[in-house]
C-alpha cells in the first residue's frame, strides 16, 4: 500500500471483523457512494498512458495496442511507471510496449516505444467527425484527414464494453513504420 501513496490519495478502511463477507457494507455504503460521486469517471481521458507486454491486456480506454516491435523512430526511453525506488512492482519477461496519448480537440499526439501499430477508438463525444483528425506519433504526422462514422465499429465496441458512456463511432488504425 505504501507505494500507492506516492501517486494517489488512498482511503483505507480496515474491516477486521468482516471475514469473507460483506456485513460491513451498510456502514461503508455512504462513504463509498460519496467517493464515487466526488470522483466521476472520464471514459475518454484526454491524457492516457498504456504499457503492455502481451496483446492479452492491450487496451486502455480509447487506445488499443495492436502490434509490438521497435521502430527506428521510437521515442527515447520513457520514465518507467512500474518502478518505485528502483523496485519493480511486476516481473517482466520481455520488454513492454508503451503509448502515451494527448488529445487537444481533433489533434492527437502519441509518443510510442516498442509499439509497431495501435488503434485509436474515436468517440463522437470527444471528436468532431465533420473536421479532420490529426495524429502525430513520435513527432511525425501519421494521419491527417477525415474519418467516416462506422456502424459496425459502434456495434462491435458497444457489445464488448457494455458501457453506454464508451461509444466509438470510428476506429483509426495507426502503423508506425520502421
On whether both 15 and 68 belong to a single domain, the answer is no
On whether the CB atoms of residues 157 and 168 are closer than 8 A, the answer is yes
On whether the CB atoms of residues 100 and 45 are closer than 8 A, the answer is no
On whether both 58 and 106 belong to a single domain, the answer is yes
Domain that includes residue 16, residue range: 2-38
pLDDT tens for the chain, 178 residues long, are 555 556 677 788 888 888 888 888 998 999 999 999 998 999 999 999 999 999 999 999 999 999 998 767 666 666 666 555 566 666 667 788 999 999 999 999 999 999 999 999 999 999 999 999 999 999 999 999 999 999 999 999 999 999 999 999 999 999 997 5
Measured between alpha carbons, how far is 117 from 122 in angstroms, rounded to an integer? 16
**Backbone Cα Rg of the chain:** 19
On whether both 66 and 150 belong to a single domain, the answer is yes
Reported pTM: 0.79
Judging by DSSP bridges, how do beta strands 133-137 and 107-113 pair with one another?
A: parallel
On whether both 10 and 87 belong to a single domain, the answer is no
If you count DSSP H runs as helices and E runs as strands, how many of each does the chain have, helices first? 2, 11
On whether both 86 and 168 belong to a single domain, the answer is yes
On whether both 15 and 72 belong to a single domain, the answer is no
C-alpha cell at 157: 465496441
Measured between alpha carbons, how far is 54 from 77 in angstroms, rounded to an integer? 19
On whether both 108 and 149 belong to a single domain, the answer is yes
Question: How many distinct structural domains can be found in the chain?
Answer: 2
Amino acid at each position: 500500500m505504501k507505494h500507492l501513496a506516492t501517486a494517489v490519495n488512498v482511503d483505507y478502511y480496515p474491516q477486521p471483523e468482516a471475514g469473507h463477507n460483506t456485513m460491513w457494507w451498510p456502514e461503508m455504503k455512504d462513504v463509498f457512494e460519496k467517493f464515487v460521486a466526488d470522483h466521476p469517471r472520464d471514459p475518454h481521458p484526454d491524457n492516457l498512458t498504456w504499457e503492455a507486454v502481451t496483446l492479452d491486456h492491450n487496451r486502455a480506454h480509447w487506445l488499443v495496442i495492436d502490434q509490438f516491435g521497435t521502430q527506428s523512430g521510437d521515442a527515447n526511453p520513457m520514465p518507467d511507471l512500474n518502478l518505485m525506488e528502483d523496485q519493480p512492482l511486476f516481473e517482466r519477461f520481455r520488454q513492454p510496449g508503451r503509448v502515451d496519448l494527448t488529445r487537444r480537440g481533433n489533434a492527437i499526439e502519441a509518443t510510442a516505444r516498442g509499439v509497431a501499430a495501435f488503434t485509436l477508438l474515436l468517440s463522437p463525444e470527444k471528436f468532431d467527425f465533420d473536421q479532420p483528425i490529426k495524429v502525430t506519433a513520435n513527432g511525425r504526422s501519421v494521419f491527417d484527414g477525415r474519418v467516416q462514422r462506422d456502424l459496425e465499429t459502434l456495434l462491435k465496441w458497444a457489445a464488448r464494453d457494455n458501457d453506454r458512456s464508451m461509444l466509438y463511432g470510428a476506429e483509426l488504425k495507426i502503423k508506425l513504420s520502421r
